[in-house]
Each structure stands twice: as C-alpha cells, then as structure tokens.
Amino acid sequence: SRKWRVKPTVLDLGDGVTIGGNSLAICAGPCSIESEAQMEKVMDHLVANGVRLMRGGVFKPRSSPYAFRGLGLEGLRDFHRMARARGLKIVTEVMQVSQVEEMHDFVDVFQVGARNTQNFNLLDALGGVDKPVLLKRGISGSIEELLSSAEYVFSGGNEKLILCERGIRTFETASRNTLDLNAVPILKAKSHLPVIVDPSHGIGIREYVPTMALAGVMAGADGIVYETHETPETAASDGAQTLDFDESARLIRNLRRVYQLR
Ligand code: PEP
Ligand code: MN
C-alpha cells in the first residue's frame, strides 16, 4: 500500500534493465515459445528496437486440453541460453508450485497468469523466491483482489512485484476481454508497485492492440507487455492478438513518443 510505502518501487533486473520509476518498461514476445528459429527472429527484432525484456510462455494455460500447451522446461532452457547471449531478460509464466524451483534459475521474472491470480499456494511459494513476480489481474478479479493476491507474495517476503492489468471478463462480446484502464490510476494511487498493461489479452484483436497500448501509457502505466511474432497467422497460440514485427516496431516508437508527453 502507498500508505505504508510512499516511494514508488523500482525493480532492478540487472544489466541496466529496470521496471518502475522514471522509465517505460517495454516487454514483448510471442504468446508461446515455439522453437529456436522462432525465438531467434523475435530476439533479433527486440534487440534491433532496443527492447530488453522478452515474454514467452513455455507452460501455457489453454482452454482446450488439445491445444498446444508449451515446450516446458526444455524450451525454457533454450529460451534462457538464447536470451542471455543477447542481453535479454525473460518473463515467463509459472503455473504450479512444483515449477517454481525447476524454473528459478532460468527466469528473470515469474509471470502469474490470470487463471492463477488466486492460486494462493502458488503465491505463497513465490513469496519465498528472490525474483520479481509479474502478477496478472484475475479474469473476473477485482482490483482489491489483485492487491490482496500481491499481498500474499509480499507478506511471504518477496517485495519484487509488478501488477498487470490484462482485461477482465464482462458482458461485452465485441472484444476478447475488457481492458480496464480505470485500474491503472487506481492501482497507482493505492500501491507503490509498478503497474503494467497487457493490451494483447486486454482487447484480443490485433489491429486495436497498439491503440490500447498507447492509451495504457497515457493512463499512467509503468510498462506495456504485448505479443509479437514473425508470422502471427502461424503462431501456436493467440495469433489473432499478436503483432507482426512491422506493427511491433511502430508501436515501440510510438510508446516512447507518447511516454515523453506524460
Ligand atoms: C499470456 O500472457 O500469454 C497469458 C496466458 O496471459 P493471461 O494469464 O493474462 O491470460
Ligand atoms: Mn497469450
């Protein structure tokens, strides 16, 4: 809570990469890690555009058990090796308690997905690690519930937290989720933690992702996390909300310009 700590939290991931404070964190990458060839293309794109944080899931929560569920630990080891060689930091989802230890040495930021925001055992386990946790808002979770979940990790001893607005389920069917940009100024006022916006899952429609990303920055977000892939049409998951590299490069430029206007 801001009542307890007024100063904004700045997370230092090392090698000059920070989240929070007086800079805009940009994190991009595919929904799923698919192959070394795919990672190489995404990494080249990120490095060329000065982005230091790469997202990508190796354990994927899928609505259907028959959908691609990720490359698992082996994929994460490759992800880590390739990212390290290029000075990139890794953000990737942890789905269960047993994975925390297995993944620990290969991640820079543990992502807790919207389906696990209230997995209290997982939050307890992450309270005991020394790495930042990117905590997504639950699919039908209130702002207060997100903050309570953050409190689980925090009270367990891990104060390295990032709050993420990624859209909530509402009556609206025109978009995948309803990106609740109201949450950004409210979370910033209530909490000292960095707040980031995920417009990809927030709206779910590729052509509108850049607009909502820029709106997130103007709403006061400390960072944006979005999905990009060389050929979104062939992505193993979430292709419909994934930017190609041209769209991504344009968005990166515009994010930096809009951030200067704040
Ligand atoms: C993801 O980041 O690819 C993801 C599954 O996100 P969420 O948990 O917000 O649905
Ligand atoms: Mn996704």
> Atom 10 (ligand 1): residue with closest C-alpha?
114
Question: Rounded to a whole number, what is the distance in angstroms from the first to the last CA of the chain?
Answer: 24
The alpha carbon of 221 and the centre of ligand 2 are apart by a number of angstroms equal to 20
User: Other C-beta atoms within 10 Å of 196: how many?
Assistant: 26
Give the count of alpha carbons within 13 A of 93, CB side only.
23
Confirm or reject: Cβ of 167 under 6 Å from ligand 1: no
Tell me what pLDDT residue 14 has. Answer: 97
Report the distance separating Cα 40 and Cα 79, nearest Å.
9
Ranges of the chain whose pLDDT falls below 50:
none
Confirm or reject: Cβ of 8 under 6 Å from ligand 1: no
- Which residues in the chain belong to E strands, given as ranges? 11-14, 17-19, 25-29, 53-55, 89-93, 109-112, 133-136, 161-165, 195-197, 223-227
Tell me what pLDDT residue 48 has. Answer: 98
The alpha carbon of 57 and the centre of ligand 1 are apart by a number of angstroms equal to 9
Could you report the predicted ipTM of this complex, rounded to two decimals?
Answer: 0.99
* pTM over 0.95, yes/no: yes
Q: What is the pLDDT of residues 50-102, one digit of tens each?
A: 999 999 999 999 999 999 999 999 999 999 999 999 999 999 999 999 999 99
Report the distance separating Cα 17 and Cα 210, nearest Å.
23
Q: What is the pLDDT of residues 226-244, one digit of tens each?
A: 999 999 999 999 999 999 9
Tell me what pLDDT residue 221 has. Answer: 98
Tell me what pLDDT residue 186 has. Answer: 98
The alpha carbon of 3 and the centre of ligand 1 are apart by a number of angstroms equal to 30
Determine what percent of the chain is predicted with pLDDT higher than 90.
Answer: 98
CATH class, 11-260 region: alpha beta
